[in-house]
A = this chain, B = another copy of it.
Amino acid sequence: MNMTSNIPAPTLPIATPETTPASVRARSAIELQAASVVFGTGETAVTALSPTTLKMASGEFLALVGPSGCGKSTILKLVSNLIRPSAGVVLVGGREAAARKLRIGMAFQNPTMLPWLTIEQNVMMPLKIVEPFKRSYRQDKKGAFRDRVHALLKQVGLGDFANHFPWQLSGGMLQRSNLCRALIHEPDLLLLDEPFGALDQFTREELWQIMQDLYLDRAPTVLLVTHDLREAGFLASRICVMSARPGRVISDEPVTLPQPRDIATIYSPEFVEMTQNLREMIAQARSS
């Protein structure tokens, strides 16, 4: 696999708004106001999320950590407007359910590639659906789009698998294509649900680098769910810790380390201290 972290974020071979105007940018600020989610009714009701309040400015990179089943994925679904809160309000760019109008890139926890499409076609999907790419797609710029997809796939080490079907890929490979699909259309808001979970440490670190470059370059708003405190510390500008189900945000700290960070940073004493602190906080939350 020819993966080096020096490769720049995928260059766009076709004319698209390279820099999103500030007005649009402001739209990607996120606010949860006492938003809660209850699935089902009666005896079988499950509170997936306690009333949670959380604010994110545009361009922030927030990492969300917390025990299994605490409602992390639920928060991502709320923000992306896939589900509505049972109570409370979810605002994106100051408006309810405004996420529709936004360019969102979402990497689901479970890579849900469409089984009838090849990896290339799957990754191409946002270009087919999301404006302004959609327009060019119709104008038959598919060739250029294909190049773009191939470039991105190559970057994550899947250059040879563009024409394979999802079920012909390994778990980690699927997760990487899942990430590609979330990134390909340069979203203003990135919602990533454990996007590196099934990857070995090295592949993971390479993708961290790519992720960081992309963030520093385009400054989208990013909400990253992860179980890896080092991942959170390396990438995020802020880390929120959630309690066990039904979850609430119990800690909300900025990461003060300067960006860009490099892999060596995670072995630095400040970094180790920070992760240790987080660890303890989570441990406490669990026992309470």
Interface residues of A (CB under 8 A from B): 1, 39-40, 44, 46, 65-69, 72-73, 109-110, 157, 163-164, 168-173, 176, 193-194, 197-204, 227, 229, 244-245, 279, 282-283, 286
Contact = CB atoms under 8 A, between A and B. Distances in A.
A203 B186 CA distance: 34
Given A44-B163, A68-B170, A227 B201 contact: yes
B168 A46 contact: yes
A67 B172 CA distance: 9
A172 B69 CA distance: 7
B68 A198 contact: yes
19 contacts: A1-B67, A1-B245, A46-B164, A66-B200, A68-B157, A68-B172, A68-B176, A68-B199, A68-B203, A69-B170, A69-B173, A73-B170, A171-B194, A194-B198, A197-B198, A199-B227, A200-B227, A200-B282, A202-B286
Contacts of A68: 157, 170-173, 176, 198-200, 203
A198 B170 contact: no
Contacts of A286: 1, 202
A227 B228 CA distance: 12
A240 to B, nearest CB: 14
Contacts of A110: 110, 171
Contacts of A40: 168
B173 A201 contact: no
A228 to B, nearest CB: 8
Contacts of A176: 68
Contacts of A227: 198-201, 204
Contacts of A279: 201
A168 B48 CA distance: 10
| Residue picked from A110, A198, A204, most chain B C-beta under 10 Å | A198
A198 B109 contact: yes
A201 B229 contact: yes
| Residue picked from A68, A110, A164, most chain B C-beta under 10 Å | A68
Given A109-B171, A173-B68, A197 B200 contact: no
Those 5 A-B pairs whose CB atoms lie nearest each other, nearest first: A68-B172, A109-B171, A200-B227, A69-B170, A69-B173
Contact of A200 (B39, B65, B109, B172): B65
